[in-house]
Structure formats: structure tokens, C-alpha cells
């Protein structure tokens, strides 16, 4: 009987062992990837990235949809054989078949600025911890400035304390209450002082309650009446000269060769966008102008929906 019990127990243990398998190890992320990269720059400068940092387009960073924050990648442009090492600190891109968004500086390192997008090879150097990894704060300590005696020009008269020694303080003059003003306001003053080669004028401050000393330039008025006339002339010129309002453009590309800029302009025209070319050392293909940044952002969004990257510039 006992032998039967032991045999039954052995069969149960054997069956349980066969039914239970060790848990499978999680899949390891591939060391190399391949896909389409794009870039983003000054239009996002100063904004907060997904891991809490402040985006700086001049740093070598990137945005990826799933890789943990802090992951270090080597990005290679197979067309130019140029590589750059970046750190993942943001999420994206969420347009089309793109797999990674590079900062302006990183895209510039591998020749991706002018085309805007392009295929890249991605090699994982180190997988990040996934936690927020903002840069360490930059602390400085300022030593206390040494205390020095007040500097006085050689031409300044020595200070005099009032009332003078052994002299009684003057009694206040009797003035009728109806004549006393609660606060004296000076209209103008005409005092020109020369110390060496420097000529200064004492003039009334904008609030009309005290004086200030300003240097005179060559040809500047030296009398109160001529000074007033100069101020009136300046005010009239400022009123007549209109200020140019700020305008915004959606810049699609910048080329050193004019033919490339015209080719992009024709491509944009073919899909319904009215583009222009501005030249200042580079041929810049732009759409606009827009009167507000929000309107320019809407124009850029319409381009991105058609698979075209762009950035916003202002003048």
C-alpha cells in the first residue's frame, strides 16, 4: 500500500514539473535601427521637452517615440557617411513614417538641414534609465565687492556741511499759505559745465522735480531754447516715421545653390503653396508673410501634413 502511495506522489510531481516552464526573458531592443529622420530647431527653443529639460537647438539631442530618456544613439547619414552622437530627451516624431527627430545642431552635423528629412542608420550606444535627466545646474559664487571710498573728480568742489560752524541756521521765510506750492516743479535749466575736455549740461529730469547731468556731443544744443527745439524735432521725426510691423514666414529650405531653391519653389507651387525666395548668403524658400506667429504655425502644420518639414522665422 505504501509503495502505491509513493508511486502516485512521484507521478504528481513529475506532471507538475512538465506543466510549469520558466518565464521567458523580455525581448532585448535591437542594437541597430534604420528609418527616416527629420529635425526641429529655433521655433521650439525654450520650450519644455518630454523629460522636463528646456529644448536648446544648439545641443546634440533627439526625440524618439519609445526609447527611454537618456538613451545615447549614434546617428549616421548613409548618403554622406557623417555621424553624430545624440541623447534622447523628448518624444516624437508623430508625422508619417519618421522614426526620430534630431535637434538643429545634430542634423547639421550629418548634412540633414537642407533636405529636411532623410534615411539614417541608428545604433544604440547605451540605453537610458528612463527617468528625467535635466542638466546639472550651473552655480557661481560672487565674492563680496571691496568697500571703497566714494570717487570724486579733481574738479569737484569739496563738500560743505550746512549750517556752517558757529552760524545759526537761517529762519524760514514767511510765505502766505495761498502762495506755497505743495511740490516745486522746475521747467527748464540752462547750465553748461566743462571739466577738461568733457562738456556736460545740467538738465531737468523727465519728472520735472530734480536735475541730471548729461554729456554734450559735438554740435549739440547748448542753450535751453535750442535744446527744446531739438527735442521737438526728434518727436516730430518719430511721429512721422512708421514702425515696420513684425512679420512671420514659414521657411521650408535654405540652399547655397539657387537652382535647388527654385526646384523646391516649383514643388511647393505644384501642391498649392505660394512660395518666395529670399537671398542673404543663402537662397531661402519661404511661404508668407503671416501677420501672427499662430497663423504661421497653421501654415507649417499644413505643410507637415503633406510630409514637408519647415520652421518659423520672423523679421
Residue with cell 515696420: 244
The domain ranges of the chain are: 32-126, 186-218, 248-314
Q: Which of 49, 89, 58, 54 is nearest to 72 (CA)?
A: 89
For 32-126, the fitting CATH number among 2.40.40.10, 2.40.50.140, 1.10.540.10, 3.40.50.720 is 2.40.40.10
> Which pTM was predicted?
0.37
Cβ neighbours around 307 below 10 Å, total: 14
pLDDT tens for each residue of the chain, 315 residues long: 555 555 555 555 555 555 445 444 444 556 788 999 999 988 888 888 888 889 999 999 999 999 999 999 999 999 999 999 999 999 999 888 899 999 999 999 999 999 989 999 999 999 988 765 555 444 445 556 556 555 555 556 666 665 555 655 555 555 545 444 455 554 454 566 666 656 677 766 766 667 777 776 655 555 555 656 666 776 677 666 666 788 899 998 888 888 888 998 898 888 888 888 988 888 989 998 999 989 999 988 888 888 888 888 888
Q: What is the pLDDT of residue 308?
A: 86
What is the homologous superfamily of the domain 248-314 according to CATH? Sporulation related repeat (3.30.70.1070)
C-alpha pair distances (Å), 2 with each of 7, 9, 217, 233: 9, 11, 120, 121
Question: CA 271, CA 260: separation in Å to the nearest integer?
Answer: 17
Amino acid at each position: 500500500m505504501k509503495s502505491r502511495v509513493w508511486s502516485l506522489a512521484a507521478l504528481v510531481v513529475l506532471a507538475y514539473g512538465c506543466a510549469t516552464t520558466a518565464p521567458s526573458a523580455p525581448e532585448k531592443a535591437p542594437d541597430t535601427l534604420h528609418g527616416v529622420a527629420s529635425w526641429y530647431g529655433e521655433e521650439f527653443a525654450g520650450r519644455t521637452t518630454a523629460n522636463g529639460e528646456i529644448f536648446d537647438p544648439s545641443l546634440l539631442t533627439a526625440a524618439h517615440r519609445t526609447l527611454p530618456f537618456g538613451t545615447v544613439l549614434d546617428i549616421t547619414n548613409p548618403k554622406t557617411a557623417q555621424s553624430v552622437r545624440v541623447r534622447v530627451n523628448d518624444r516624437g516624431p508623430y508625422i508619417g513614417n519618421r522614426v526620430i527627430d534630431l535637434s538643429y545642431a545634430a542634423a547639421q552635423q550629418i548634412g540633414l538641414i537642407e533636405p529636411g528629412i532623410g534615411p539614417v542608420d541608428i545604433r544604440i550606444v547605451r540605453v537610458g534609465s528612463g527617468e528625467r535627466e535635466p542638466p546639472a545646474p550651473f552655480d557661481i559664487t560672487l565674492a563680496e565687492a571691496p568697500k571703497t571710498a566714494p570717487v570724486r573728480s579733481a574738479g569737484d568742489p569739496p563738500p560743505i556741511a550746512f549750517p556752517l560752524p558757529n552760524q545759526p541756521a537761517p529762519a524760514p521765510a514767511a510765505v502766505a499759505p495761498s502762495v506755497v506750492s505743495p511740490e516745486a516743479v522746475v521747467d527748464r535749466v540752462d547750465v553748461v559745465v566743462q571739466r577738461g575736455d568733457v562738456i556736460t549740461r545740467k538738465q531737468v529730469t523727465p519728472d520735472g522735480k530734480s536735475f541730471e547731468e548729461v554729456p554734450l556731443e559735438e554740435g549739440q544744443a547748448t542753450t535751453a531754447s535750442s535744446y527744446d527745439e531739438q527735442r521737438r524735432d526728434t518727436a516730430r521725426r518719430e511721429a512721422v516715421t512708421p514702425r515696420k510691423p513684425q512679420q512671420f514666414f514659414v521657411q521650408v529650405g535654405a540652399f547655397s545653390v539657387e537652382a535647388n531653391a527654385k526646384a523646391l519653389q516649383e514643388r511647393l507651387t505644384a501642391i498649392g503653396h505660394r512660395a518666395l525666395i529670399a537671398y542673404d548668403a543663402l537662397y531661402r524658400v519661404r511661404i508668407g508673410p503671416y501677420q501672427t506667429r499662430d497663423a504661421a504655425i497653421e501654415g507649417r502644420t499644413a505643410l507637415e501634413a503633406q510630409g514637408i518639414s519647415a520652421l518659423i522665422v520672423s523679421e
